[in-house]
Every structure is written in structure tokens, then in C-alpha cells.
Structure 1
Amino acid sequence: MIGHLKGQIISKNPPEILLEVSGIGYELLCPMSTFYELGNLNDEILLFTHLSIKEDAHTLFGFISKDEKNIFRELIRVNGVGPKVALAILSHLAVPSLIECIANEDSDLLAKTPGIGKKTALKLIVELQDRLSKVELTSSSISNNAIQKSSNPNTQQAIEALQSLGFKTKEANNMVSKIKDKDLSTEQLIRQALQNK
């Protein structure tokens, strides 16, 4: 398995780049988020890679960060989502946006990705909600969001209580996130969330 490649950019033709490593040219498919961060031709870069092997092709995918690679691997584990669709998702949404989109159950935003319908977007959200919390991400902005959400252990109970009252997950999250005082009990959080509605 090829874990990463470090070499010179020989050509860029989205979504493909040609990377020369010790005299060998590797063709890699990259999401647009990686393309935006690539340097100029002949610049030396490091790309984290994923090798997809099928009967008719061996395809190498390249990512600017380990987070992108990890999320890509989680996406292709979802039934019905292949590497090309996962690449389209990462081209449409950056990693922090995708994680937020799944946490808030924003299927409409996810469905705006070319090749993703409403049904697939909902399936992605259902399958990835638990899995993404277990994925180790290196980006500080992503981990900080996760820490902020869990700073009060009563927050999650309040959100679940609001859901049982008939509010959607996204609505319940928004209602609770507006509360400034983070040291409230579950009942106080629910009361304030309902007052702020």
C-alpha cells in the first residue's frame, strides 16, 4: 500500500495531477480542496494517498492532509458511495464543513454535491454520524469544535430531550447552541432553549 508520496508536480489537470517521485510519474486524482492548496508546477509537495484496486483499474487518490484521506476512507465505506463520489463530496465541502453538515443533519447541503441525491445524502448522514466521532482528526479547528460541543455534559441530554419533543436534530442543536451559559443543568438548558425558540 502506498501511504504518501513526496515529489514534484509535473502537470495539473483537475481532478488529476502528475507527480514525479524519484523519476517515476504517478497519476493521482485529487479533490478540488487539495488542488486549491497545491503549489505551482515543479514545486515539491507531499500528498497522502489511497490506492483503489478494481478488476479493470488501479487508481491512486491524493490528499493534501491526513484528515482528507481519513474522511475519504470513511465516505467510501458507505454502501453506494464509490471513490469518485467521495472525491466529489470532498471537492464540494471542505472537511470541517462536511463534519458540521453531518453533525447538523444538513442533507440539503450534502445533496447539492453532483452525483448525490437526497436519498444518498440521508444515508451518508445516518451511517457517518457515529463513525466520524471516532475518526482521529489532526486539524485543530475541527477538534476544537468537537470540544466546544461537549464542554457541558448536559448539552447532549438536552438535545435528545428536545428531539423527543418533536424537534429535528438540526433545530435542537441550534436552540441549545444559542445558550451562552454553559454550566446549566439539563432542565435549565431545555427551558432556555424553548424560551429562545
Structure 2
Amino acid sequence: MIGRLSGTLAEKNPPQLLVDVNGVGYEVDVPMSTFYNLPALGERVVLLTHFVVREDAQVLYGFLSHEERSTFRQLVKISGVGPRTALAILSGLSVSELAQAVSLQESGRLVKVPGIGKKTAERLLLELKGKLGDAIAAPAAVQGDAHGDILQALVALGYSDREAAAALKALPAEVGVSEGIKLALKALAR
């Protein structure tokens, strides 16, 4: 029903915004990934939206990118995953990190998100397999098993998903697991 809002950013109270559209203030819930990339108060903002009507509430969810909104829509289609849980997932993982976790079947990355247990994580991996878009999941699939193993090793050593992914980008495409871990650790030590 409401697909997009374009207006002035009037208030920011995580995870909720107030967007003034020609004198009408819309309350919009956003994931933290969107929240951190918003302009300053009083600036113009354009949000893609998803409108949810329930028996007890009408809630508008906002996103800065098409990828975030389509991923949110895929998440809420899964049994047991509501809009709040979908927002939590998108706040804890970027769309590309989620796609990589799904393509590599890494439930451990999903369990780190507040409110996601082991069973829910496994259901998410099963339900989202092949549904997050080829363009998003392709880099993780092309990198192959070696990069997945290197990523898991770095996370097991205590590095965050973002640090580990950044270190992987610097590695040659055909690197072996042991050599890749050494190179990644050298890059992270800098």
C-alpha cells in the first residue's frame, strides 16, 4: 500500500524514525543498518517501505536499499519469523553477510543475532537457500570452500564477521586454506 516515503527526517529514536511528508508525520521502524546511514535531522530522506497491517496495529518498516527491503520480505515469509525478528536479523547482519551465511550454511552467524536460537537459525538457512538473489550470494559461492573455511577459522579465533570478511577480500582467489589463514592473520595484524 505505502511503497515509498520521501520527506524530511524529523526524529530519530532507534529503531524508530519520524518522517515528515508534507506536514504528515510517518512513524517508521528501520533496521540499524539503515539507521546508521541516515542523514542528519532536518535533511531530506527517501525510504522504501513495507506496510504491515495486523489486528492490533499498523506498522511501517523502512529501508534505504531495495536489497534490504526484499530480504526483509523474504524473512517475514518464513514461519515463526515476524517483522521484529526480521529487523533484528538485518540489524545484526548486512544483506551480503546474511547471504554469505546462507550460502555457506553457517548457523553460528545467525545465532549471534539476539532472539535467534539454534532451531530458528537452521530453519532460516533452509528456507532462505537460493532465495536471497544470485547477485548477492554469488561472491560467496564463487569463492568456494577454501574461503568459507578461512572465514570460519577467523571467526573461531575471535574476529568479527566484518573483520574476517574484510581480510578475505585481500586474499588471492585460488589460495589454500592454511596459506589463506596465514595471509588473513597477517592482514588483520596490521
* TM-score category of the 2 structures, normalised to the smaller one: 0.7 to 0.9
Partner of 2:186: none
How far did residue 37 of structure 1 move?
A: 0.4
Q: List per-residue Cα deviations over 1:129-153 (Å, max 9, x = no partner).
A: 122246xx6xxxx37626x729xxx
Please say which structure displays the higher CA radius of gyration.
Answer: 1
How far did residue 180 of structure 1 move?
A: 2.1
Divergent runs of 4+, >6 A: none
How far did residue 49 of structure 1 move?
A: 0.2
Q: List per-residue Cα deviations over 1:165-186 (Å, max 9, x = no partner).
A: xxxxx55x99xx98729xxxxx
Which runs of 5 or more structure 1 residues have no equivalent in the other structure?
160-169, 182-191
Q: List per-residue Cα deviations over 1:13-66 (Å, max 9, x = no partner).
A: 000000001111000000000011001100101000000111000100000111
Partner of 2:132: 132
Q: List per-residue Cα deviations over 1:54-85 (Å, max 9, x = no partner).
A: 10001000001111000000000111000000
Given the alignment of the two structures, is residue 69 of structure 1 paired with residue 60 of structure 2, yes or no?
Answer: no
In structure 1, how many angstroms separate the alpha carbons of the residues matched to 2:115 and 2:59? 19
Aligned residues: 158
**Within-5 A mapping of 1:121-160:** 121-133=121-133, 142=136, 145=139, 149=142
TM-score normalized with structure 1 length: 0.72
Which runs of 5 or more structure 2 residues have no equivalent in the other structure?
153-170, 181-190
Q: Secondary structure at the match of 1:38?
A: coil
2:124 alignment partner AA = L
In structure 2, how many angstroms separate the alpha carbons of the residues matched to 1:130 and 1:100? 11
In structure 2, how many angstroms separate the alpha carbons of the residues matched to 1:5 and 1:25? 11
In structure 2, how many angstroms separate the alpha carbons of the residues matched to 1:78 and 1:143? 19
Partner of 2:3: 3
TM-score normalized with structure 2 length: 0.74
**Within-5 A mapping of 1:22-171:** 22-133=22-133, 142=136, 145=139, 149=142
Q: Secondary structure at the match of 1:37?
A: coil
The 3 A distance-change label for structure 1 pair 20 and 131 is: same
Given the alignment of the two structures, is residue 180 of structure 1 paired with residue 174 of structure 2, yes or no?
Answer: yes
The 3 A distance-change label for structure 1 pair 46 and 97 is: same
Q: For the aligned residues, what is the CA RMSD?
A: 2.8
How far did residue 3 of structure 1 move?
A: 0.9
Q: Secondary structure at the match of 1:113?
A: coil
In structure 2, how many angstroms separate the alpha carbons of the residues matched to 1:66 and 1:31? 13
In structure 2, how many angstroms separate the alpha carbons of the residues matched to 1:179 and 1:68? 28
Q: Secondary structure at the match of 2:39?
A: coil
The 3 A distance-change label for structure 1 pair 57 and 12 is: same
